[in-house]
Structure 1
Amino acid sequence: MRTDRTLVAVAVLSVLGVGALVPSSAIVAAVEPATTDPVRFGILVAGLYLLRPLATLPTTPLAVVVGYGYGVAIGIPIALAGVAVTVVPVFLVARRFVRTEDAGTSPGRVGRVLGRARDTVERYYETAGPIRGVVAARLAPIPSDVATCGAAISGVSLRQLVAGTVVGELPWTVAAVVVGASTATVAADGVGELGLSLALACTGAAALLLAGPISRRLLFYSRPAGSAD
C-alpha cells in the first residue's frame, strides 16, 4: 500500500506553495518594463512559465502577459506552448510520488481519504478516456495543478496530458491573449475582463464533452447482469 508520505505528497503538489503565495499582479507587473526589449521580455516570460508552479501563478495571467508583449497572432501559439511546458514538471513529480510504494505499510486515515480521492479520479478517466478527460478538466475552471496531478495519478501518459492540455486550454488562452493585446498596461487584473461568461461557456463545453461517456457508463451499469449486446 502507498504510505501517508506518498499520498500526502501528491496532495501537496495540488496546492504547491500555498504557504508562500506571491501576488499575481506583482509578478506580472514586473514584466512590463521589459516589453521594449524583445529578447529580455522573452527570457522573462519563459522564466515565469518555468517557475509558475513554485509561485502558484495561474496560467491565464501569463497568457495576458504574452498577449501584451507579442500580440494575438504570435501570442497565442507562444502561450499555448508555455502552458504545455509548464504542466510537465508537476506531472512528472506527481507521477514519481505515486509510483513510490512501501509494501506492507498501512496508509493511515489520511492515506485512506486520499486513496478514495484517487479512486474517484481514476474512475473519471476510465469513463471519459485520457485525452477527453484532460480536455474537460482544462475547460472547467479548476486550478491547473490540481488537474495535472489528477491526470498523473490516473495513469494518463505525458503525451495525452500535453495534447489534452493544449486543446482544453485553447479558449482560455485565446481570450487571455486578446485581453493582453488590447490593454494599455499589463496587469493580472486584466484577467477579470474575461468575465463569468467564458467560465460558464467552458464549463458547459466540458459537460457536453463528458455527456456521451457518462451516458454510456450509466447505461452499462443499468443493464441486467449477464445481458449481451
Structure 2
Amino acid sequence: MRADLTPRSLVGGALLVLVVVASLLTSPDAVLVHVEGLAADPLWFGLALVALYSLRPLVAWPTTLVAVVVGYGYGVALGVPIGLAGAVFTSMPPFFAAKWVDDGGSLPVLDQLSAVGRFRSSAERYFDTAGGFRGVTAARLAPIPADAVTCTASVSGVSLRTFVAGTLVGELPWTVAAVVVGSSANTLTTHGLGALGLPLAVAMVVSATVLLAGPAYETFAHSSE
C-alpha cells in the first residue's frame, strides 16, 4: 500500500466535494416543477428522465425520488421496468468512478490512520461473508443511501454482473412503491413516498435482516468453534 496521495485519489476527493456542494445548491422542487411541465410530451419527458438519472449521482438525490417522477409520467405498467432500468443506469457512474479511484490507490494515509480504513475493512468482510449478490440485495433493501451502497460494493470487489443483479432485486420493492405513489399523485413533490415511507422502510429492514441471518449465523458459529 502506497503512503502517498495519488492523482486518482485527489480526483476522487474533488468529486466528493463537488457532490456535496451540488447537493447543497440544487433544489429538487425547482427541478421537479420543470419536469412536471413536460409530462404531456412523452419524448421530452423521456429525455428529462434520462437527464435526471444521469445527473442524480452528482446531487445525491435518492433513486426513489426519480422513480416517483417515472410513475407520474408513465404509470405503473411502464413505470416499474423503466424505474428499475433507471436505478441500474444511475448507479453506473458512481460504481465505475469508485473502481477507477480505488484502482489508483484510495487515500492510503486515511486508510491507515482514520476510521476510513476500518470502514473499508468492515465493508469487505461484509461482502465476503454475505456474498456479492446477497450483500448488494440486502443493502439495497435497507434504507441506506444508494450511492454509499454502490461505492462500497465497487471498492469491495463485487463484480458488475453481480452488482446489477443485486440492485435489480433489492430496488424492486422501493421502485414499485415509488412508481405507485407517483402514478397516483396530482403533482410532483419532494415528499417522495410520504406516509408509506416509514412502514416500507421498517419492512425492508426486516427483509434485509432475514436475508443476512444465514451468513451471520454461519460466521458466528465458525467464530465460536
In the superposition, the TM-score normalised over structure 2's length comes to 0.90
Larger radius of gyration: 1
In structure 2, relative to structure 1, the CA distance for the partners of 1:132 and 1:110 (3 Å cut) is: closer
1:122 aligns to 2:124 (yes or no): yes
Does the 8 Å contact 2:76/2:179 carry over to 1?
yes
1:72 aligns to 2:76 (yes or no): yes
Partner of 2:204: 202
In the superposition, the TM-score normalised over structure 1's length comes to 0.89
SS at match of 2:39: helix
Equivalent of 1:146 in 126, 148, 169: 148
Partner of 1:226: none
In structure 2, relative to structure 1, the CA distance for the partners of 1:44 and 1:165 (3 Å cut) is: same
SS at match of 2:105: coil
In structure 2, relative to structure 1, the CA distance for the partners of 1:143 and 1:9 (3 Å cut) is: farther
Unmatched runs of 5 consecutive residues or more in structure 2: none
Q: Which moved more, 1:212-221 or 1:9-18?
A: 9-18
CA distance in structure 2 between the aligned counterparts of 1:208 and 1:8, rounded to whole angstroms = 39
Measure how far apart 1:13 and its partner are: 6.1
SS at match of 1:142: coil
The number of residue pairs the alignment matches comes to 220
User: Residue type matched to 1:112 in 2?
Assistant: L
RMSD of aligned residue pairs (Cα, Å):
2.1
Does the 8 Å contact 1:15/1:145 carry over to 2?
no
CA distance in structure 2 between the aligned counterparts of 1:139 and 1:16, rounded to whole angstroms = 27
SS at match of 1:185: coil
CA distance in structure 1 between the aligned counterparts of 2:14 and 2:87, rounded to whole angstroms = 21
Does the 8 Å contact 1:137/1:168 carry over to 2?
yes
Equivalent of 2:29 in 19, 25, 29: 25
What percentage of aligned pairs have identical amino acids?
50
CA distance in structure 2 between the aligned counterparts of 1:23 and 1:152, rounded to whole angstroms = 29
Measure how far apart 1:192 and its partner are: 1.9
Mapping 1:8-19, distance limit 5 Å: 17-19=19-21
Q: Which moved more, 1:4-13 or 1:143-152?
A: 4-13
Partner of 2:113: 112
Does the 8 Å contact 2:111/2:118 carry over to 1?
no
Equivalent of 2:67 in 63, 67, 72: 63
Measure how far apart 1:98 and its partner are: 0.8
Partner of 1:87: 91
Does the 8 Å contact 1:131/1:163 carry over to 2?
yes
Does the 8 Å contact 2:71/2:178 carry over to 1?
yes
User: Residue type matched to 1:176 in 2?
Assistant: A
Equivalent of 2:44 in 40, 45, 66: 40
Equivalent of 1:184 in 183, 186, 192: 186
In structure 2, relative to structure 1, the CA distance for the partners of 1:9 and 1:180 (3 Å cut) is: same
In structure 2, relative to structure 1, the CA distance for the partners of 1:7 and 1:116 (3 Å cut) is: farther
Equivalent of 2:166 in 164, 167, 180: 164
Unmatched runs of 5 consecutive residues or more in structure 1: 224-229
1:49 aligns to 2:53 (yes or no): yes
